[in-house]
Amino acid sequence: MAGEILVVPFRPLDLRGVARRMRKADRDEVWKASGMTPVEALIYSLRKSSAAWTVLIDGRAEAIFGVGAISILAGVGAPWLLGTDAIERHAAGFLRGSVEWRDQLLRHYPILRNLVDVDNRVSLRWLRWLGFSIFDPISLRGHEFRPFELRSSDV
């Protein structure tokens, strides 16, 4: 099921639609990590981001992603992506595009680091596929998360 996938700078009009249709694994992850609803998590992530984009599949916003500084001086950023079930339905195109998006994030921050819910199997497979190192689980708010990291070849 091929769909046209485009990435555009984040558009505020896309926030509520993505939040309303957010895939269960992402909803569960933001709830476990922060106690936030999908809308609250997207707003919070966008406020903390130095750059953000919307992923359009066949013209419809299906994911929002970005990166925010953990340490500007050390060049460490926290990448994030929250999306709908459409990203799994269009996995091949999404995977192809995500390599370019990863490289774009690495241009902003040569070290990318964040956490992923141990139960978010699709995201864990995707992060490994993109070349991220996945580390042993840590506990946050009573839930298990795996730290992940990717370093630019320039670091």
Confidence band, pLDDT 50/70/90 cuts, at residue 12: very high
What ranges do the domains of the chain cover? Answer: 5-151
E-only strand ranges, 21-135 = 51-57, 60-71, 76-83, 111-117, 133-134
Summarised one tens digit per residue, pLDDT across range 121-139 is: 999 999 999 999 999 999 9
Given this model, what pLDDT does residue 2 score? 62
Confidence band, pLDDT 50/70/90 cuts, at residue 155: low
CB 127 within 8 A of CB 38: no
Least confident of 38-42, 88-92, 110-114: 88-92
- Which DSSP category does 12 fall into? G
Query: What is the C-alpha separation between 5 and 21, in angstroms, rounded?
Result: 18
Query: What is the C-alpha separation between 41 and 136, in angstroms, rounded?
Result: 24
CB 132 within 8 A of CB 112: yes
Confidence band, pLDDT 50/70/90 cuts, at residue 42: very high
Which residue in 42, 44, 50 sits closest to 26, CA to CA?
A: 42
CATH class of 5-151: alpha beta
Query: What is the C-alpha separation between 87 and 63, in angstroms, rounded?
Result: 8
Query: What is the C-alpha separation between 69 and 50, in angstroms, rounded?
Result: 7
